[in-house]
């Protein structure tokens, strides 16, 4: 009986730890970059922003994650526990791209905006370049509820 109890405890602990490292799936919105549609999960809470796209093995080609912060700031990103290489576009309040940075998977380098922002959009590495999107181009569709006047 003691052995059985130990097995149950061990399984419970393993399953509990498994939940900690699993990827999150957040509500999505549709964004637009010129002719290109983006299915963007929205990370608008501290917990969602901290986990971001960690622990994912795959991101569909036109999917991404929109990070929404309460206030403008120099919000920096790293790629700890992020298995797929990404590109990040830091966005001004009007949706215009401030700067884009390509990020390698599983690194702890800081990737920061060139000016304070409230939004950042992560896509697969090279996505912005393949679409010809540069600083100054707009990402449209950010819900007005996220935009402060």
Residues of the chain with pLDDT under 50: 1, 3-21
Count of CB atoms situated within 10 Å of the CB of 66: 25
Quick one: pLDDT at residue 24? Answer: 81
Per-residue pLDDT at 2: 52
- Residues 100 and 62 sit within 8 Å (Cβ to Cβ): no
- In this prediction, residue 147 carries a pLDDT of 63
pLDDT at 70: 95
User: Tens digits of per-residue pLDDT, 85-114?
Assistant: 999 999 999 999 999 999 999 999 999 999
Helix, coil or strand: residue 13: helix
Domains and CATH numbers, the chain: 24-143 (2.60.120.1140)
Residue 18 pLDDT? 40
């Amino acid at each position: 009986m003691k052995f059985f109890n130990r097995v149950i405890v061990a399984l419970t602990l393993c399953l509990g730890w498994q939940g900690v490292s699993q990827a999150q799936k957040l509500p999505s919105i549709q964004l637009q970059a010129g002719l290109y549609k983006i299915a963007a999960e929205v990370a608008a809470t501290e917990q969602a922003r901290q986990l971001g796209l960690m622990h994912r093995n795959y991101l569909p080609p036109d999917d991404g994650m929109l990070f929404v912060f309460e206030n403008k700031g120099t919000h920096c990103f790293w790629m700890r526990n992020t298995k797929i290489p990404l590109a990040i576009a830091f966005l001004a309040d009007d949706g215009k791209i401030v700067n884009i940075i390509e990020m390698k998977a599983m690194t702890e380098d800081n990737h920061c905006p060139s000016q304070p922002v409230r939004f950042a959009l992560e896509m697969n590495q090279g996505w912005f370049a393949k679409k010809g999107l540069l600083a100054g181009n707009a990402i449209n569709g950010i819900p007005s509820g996220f935009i402060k006047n």
